[in-house]
A and B are shown apart, each in its own frame.
Chain A
Amino acid sequence: MPDLAVNFAGITSPNPFWLASGPPSNTAGQVMRAFDAGWGGAVWKTIGEPVINTTSRYGGIDYGPQKLMGFNNIELISDRPIEDNLCEIAEVKKRYPRHAVIASLMVESRREAWHEMVKRAEDAGSDGLELNFGCPHGMSERGMGAAVGQVPEYTTMITEWVKEVARTPVIVKLTPNITDVTRIAVAAEQGGADGISLINTINSLMGVDLDTLAPRPTVAGKSSHGGYCGPAVKPIALNMVAACARRVKIPISGIGGIATWSDAAEFVALGASSLQVCTAVMHYGFRMVEDMIEGMESYLASKGLARLDDLVGRAVPNVADWGDLDLNYKIVAEINPDLCIGCHLCYVACEDGAHQCIEEYPASASGKRIPRIIKDECVGCNLCALVCPVHGCITMEEIDTGKPVFTWKDRAREQRQQTGIAYTPSLWGE
């Protein structure tokens, strides 16, 4: 079986699956049960001066019958005394020396406060520190969390403070609530961070009760913006992880919407070398890690990869700037008439929502009306295949145009050579 063991900036764990800082990693009892279920590590629920939480505090979005496609919370950091949390970390480390226990920290933005917190966490035996510069609500109003993580200079500064005293690896957790996450990643790297983790939750408001007009999650008729996470945020997280993988050299812990082994494998391929999960555990419990481990092992084995490390970042070179994509590459849609059930969703999608490249085809002998792609018109946008409810019915077929690779950058360069004028302002360094 492939080796899933992880060495993340010096933090080792039997597998890459860690509990993300959140309710599942709130107490020693939970973390130990998680380790028994197979989790390789845990980032403790963020420790700092204890807070007072509201009730309620979580909101969810369902999609059709699927519960919790998206999840949000207005919860703050740990509401338990620092001392209790640290004692429990010590206890867990004593009993589970091979597992990774990482203390997530958030204190007021004073050098001494950080120095003291770092020492206490390390004295308790944590294997590493995660600096929570990402919490988007409550704490940011107090000058912590996202208030730090949205300003590169603050990020560098506090990371430096921590590094002045830290003896264990320091991970900076990034907020997605920023235009360009890589600037904060670079700032953390400059501050001396040993790794970064992302994403924290995304600013969100889950909805409004149309009878009471109270936003969700509701606290006595009111609500506040909260942090969005769960399956819905995975594409955002993947993009940010990939973007960071292209910019920084330090290792990345991938977070955001991971619920299955294949989600996890995608994060790894895009540059994550450890993975953190919160919402899926809150939904289904610790037991889900068993399938994540088994699925990851069989995936690696099926690809002939001996260890997880062999997958890390393998897809990063395929993440390109738009200007580097081949404009001569061509695909067109193809409908398999044997599989088509005649719903015409592709037809209306293309007709009203795309490029009018599907025609109604006269009823066949069987009486089934099957739409047909007008191949010369099809722009190969994928829309019809995306709306088609039948597995494998509409496929996108590659057309050999016989033309060489030709990118936007090539075109801009050509244009400039011919006319002496830059065709468009160069966004891609040309």
Chain B
Amino acid sequence: MTATQTAALRVEKLDRVFDVSAPFLSRLLYRQERRYLHAVNDVSFSVPSGGCLSLVGESGCGKSTVARLVTGIYPPSSGQIRFAPGRSGQPLSAQMIFQDPYASLNPRWRVKTIIAEPLRELKLRDTEALVAERVAELLGIVGLNVADGDKFPHEFSGGQRQRISIARALASEPEFLVCDEPTSALDVSVQAQILNLMRRLQDELGLTYLFISHDLSVVRHMSDQIAVMYLGRIVEHAETEVLFADPKHPYTRLLLETIPDVNSPHRDRKIVAGEVPSPLSPPSGCTFHPRCPLAQDRCKTERPNLETKPDGARVACHFA
């Protein structure tokens, strides 16, 4: 969006389809059709170098799938993912902090081995003594103790595990970090420490982030730009302050209204009305139309394209 900065990552017309058909035999027996799930649909965005783009949207809208496509865990069904050259001249490669911290840590390895793996793999430290020193430093950075390195992942609390996976991601000195709910298992005080750390790394090392969180106050704190996803598509993409000051898509507006508020206990939140549609059989036209307060006949048949507004926001709505 901001043309003055170079993009660290450019994603164009990204698609990912999963085959979720029943097993062959039961398809045969019950005459079922093959079923496909279009998890990511025609997604394009770019992340400015040294900046932070956040993906938000309800559960199942495709955020983690975009993260997995960008980091190469899944191949795209179609579309392009291009990283700019990094410090070494090679294209940047992305490191990922996973949503499920426990599942991403090898349970049979000690924590120090887990964190040291990228150091050894990429030969970032020459001697074992230097590796150990760096591991100790990383443990300290995420608020754990050197002695914790000798323990196994199961001996840690949920939030401590998440910090281990952050330490491992930082070990490889990445220039591009994809963070999928990096602080969701952390209490607010540790979360504040980690978010402050991530901001500092950004300032000092020019780290670029693709950030996923369902916590909009965290997203607002971290990001320069926000892309709102709905059923696999981006429906609004704007500078953070523009999005919060003037949300244009009706879905974005509903999303901002449902934020829980510490200052009003027992408030009944507005819940986005209507049933959440299934990505297995998405509604026609604008996929948000069954839940949209502004929907007209046109929305049922014609899908709106992302259009750029005067303040730079891109919005896919006929009436925004």
* Chain A complexes with chain B: no
